[in-house]
Structure 1
Amino acid sequence: MKFKLILLFIFISAGSLFAQQPDPAKKENFADDWAALTKYKKENELLGLPKRGEKRIVFLGSSIFEFWKQKDPDFFKDRPYIDRGISGQISPQLLIRFRQDVINLKPKVVIILAGSNDISGNTGHVTIEKIMDNIKSMAELARLHHIKVILCKYLPINKYPWVEIVDPAEKIIALNNEIEAYAKQRNFTILDYWTPLVDDAKGQRKDLTVDGVHPNLAGYKIMEVVTEMAIKKSLRNAH
């Protein structure tokens, strides 16, 4: 009887051990990574901390920033510019990524471009107040960690090709007014992408965009000029 109990115990233990072994054929489930932290995790590890004297700039945003390094990689080459754009992301996702993709990289400056995907309703409908809450939280985190903040006035958009929405142009303008007012109140640098790209219909100039939302190379070239000016201004104000 005792021998049978010992065999039974060994059998149960072996079965339990076997059940705990991971299935090598099973793919890892990233369903909990709503903000796509895995996208830049390895790249951040390889990047490491800034070198002595390096004035690192992080670009945090969605597709406008992600496509930028694809359209004009030379802008980011040989400069301490770190592009951390992820297509389709809304402002709370940027906020979740802020520690990994901004704070931990120890930049001198962060450029925050947020709000369009929230307005287009990619994953829900939110108010401008809620967008601003997320932008303010990111800006406050940056200031707490001695990172200079550049807040962007969003590019003009009067129609999203993938969704019907009433008056996106006016919503973008309202958001930009809130961003500008907050930036002035907190003494953050303002980067105006709206003014140099806008047409008479409060959308993007046709010669500067591929779809009314995303710039073409000519549009990015204009953005590069105003971006460089904002970075220089922000670094001048750095202590």
Structure 2
Amino acid sequence: MFLENMSQSFLTKNSYYLAKNYQKLPKMIKKSLKTTKNSKKTKLNYYVFLCLFLIYTVCNSQSNSEKLNPTKIVLMGNSITEHWQTYSPLFFEENSFLVNKGVSGQTSVEMLSRFQEDVIKQSPKAVYILAGINDIAQNSGYISIDDISKNIIKMGLLAQKNNIKVVICSVLPVTEIIWNEKIKNANQKVIELNQKLISSSKKNNFIYLDFYSKMKDELSLLTYDGLHPNKRGYKKMSAIIKKSIEEIMNNFN
């Protein structure tokens, strides 16, 4: 009686869905439904098969979901990463496996302190680390370019130790640090840091993703303040990272 009531309720509420997905039934269940649906003697079997169909569709739905989202990739960063999702919501909707872990204003030291919680515990297949500009801006006081690089590489090594693919992103080009005008030659410092990141990435078998060279010639068009990307800037960044993600995903498959 319980099976009958449950099946009748399910059939009533989901008749359209059943009809639409009928072709997906395994051949054995489909054949049994054809031969039993009008038979009083095998009425119980009919309800059992309806229950099986319910289980089948749920499992099939979960399987398809896993195929659509086969992995998880974390974007670790500062305001540039955090605001990416605001300026390019469609990009994140289309790539729902991306986990945005950007926090505005943070330096490499602060990012390193939350790396375990925000990246390692997420168990992603890969992490993109975009950090350094707030260190150059001295948000937490002076820090050498060498130490900035070391903090970023420490994050990469921690991820690598946990079998997470590491992508070190170049620091974006900058015309000036608008919130700290005392910082001179900011872009030269960015270039110096990027050179260290390139060298360290090669040494540690990390992937290096170069945003800098692809954005430096159009900086005035791609940012709203000489540093932070505008909508056009994020569109360009999305195209760059999308190609990188596709290459990584192909290696996972």
Aligned length: 185
Alignment match of 2:73 (pick from 43, 48, 57): 57
Whose Rg is larger?
2
Give the whole-Å Cα distance in 1 for the aligned partners of 2:94 and 2:172: 26
Task: Report the equivalent of 1:18.
Answer: none
Q: Give the deviation of 1:52 after TM superposition.
A: 4.6
Task: Report the equivalent of 2:163.
Answer: 146
Task: Report the equivalent of 1:192.
Answer: 210
Task: Report the equivalent of 1:75.
Answer: 91
Give the whole-Å Cα distance in 1 for the aligned partners of 2:251 and 2:197: 19
Alignment match of 2:116 (pick from 99, 106, 109): 99
Contact 1:142 1:149 in 2 (8 A): yes
Give the whole-Å Cα distance in 2 for the aligned partners of 1:124 and 1:162: 13
Q: Which amino acid aligns with 2:76?
A: L
Give the whole-Å Cα distance in 1 for the aligned partners of 2:127 and 2:139: 25
Could you list the per-position Cα deviations for residues 40-86 of structure 1 after superposition, in whole angstroms to 9, with x for gaps in the alignment?
Answer: xxxxxxxxxxx855211100000000111111111111420110100
Q: Would you say 1:206 and 2:220 are equivalent positions?
A: yes
Stretches of structure 1 lacking an aligned partner (at least 5 in a row): 1-50
Give runs of aligned pairs for residues 1-239 of structure 1, distance below 5 A.
Answer: 52=66, 54-79=70-95, 80-164=97-181, 165-199=183-217, 205-238=219-252
Q: Which amino acid aligns with 1:182?
A: S
Q: Give the deviation of 1:196 after TM superposition.
A: 1.4
Give the whole-Å Cα distance in 1 for the aligned partners of 2:175 and 2:156: 27
Report 1 or 2 for greater relative contact order, CA contacts < 8 Å, sequence distance ≥ 6.
1
Give the whole-Å Cα distance in 2 for the aligned partners of 1:123 and 1:138: 18
Q: Give the deviation of 1:235 after TM superposition.
A: 3.4
Q: Give the deviation of 1:218 after TM superposition.
A: 0.6
**Structure-2-length-normalised TM-score:** 0.70
Give the whole-Å Cα distance in 1 for the aligned partners of 2:94 and 2:88: 13
Stretches of structure 2 lacking an aligned partner (at least 5 in a row): 1-64
Task: Report the equivalent of 2:24.
Answer: none
**Structure-1-length-normalised TM-score:** 0.74
Q: Which amino acid aligns with 2:229?
A: P
Q: Give the deviation of 1:224 after TM superposition.
A: 0.7
Two-structure CA RMSD over aligned residues (Å)? 1.5
Equivalent residue of 1:60, what SS?
A: strand
Percent identity, please.
Answer: 39
Contact 1:113 1:154 in 2 (8 A): yes
Give the whole-Å Cα distance in 1 for the aligned partners of 2:184 and 2:226: 15
Could you list the per-position Cα deviations for residues 152-205 of structure 1 after superposition, in whole angstroms to 9, with x for gaps in the alignment?
Answer: 011101201111211001100000001111111222111111011103xxxx62
Equivalent residue of 1:218, what SS?
A: helix
Give the whole-Å Cα distance in 2 for the aligned partners of 1:193 and 1:81: 18
Q: Give the deviation of 1:99 after TM superposition.
A: 0.9
Could you list the per-position Cα deviations for residues 9-53 of structure 1 after superposition, in whole angstroms to 9, with x for gaps in the alignment?
Answer: xxxxxxxxxxxxxxxxxxxxxxxxxxxxxxxxxxxxxxxxxx855
Higher helix share: 2
Equivalent residue of 2:215, what SS?
A: coil
Give the whole-Å Cα distance in 1 for the aligned partners of 2:157 and 2:220: 36
Equivalent residue of 1:198, what SS?
A: helix
Equivalent residue of 1:84, what SS?
A: strand
Contact 1:150 1:230 in 2 (8 A): no
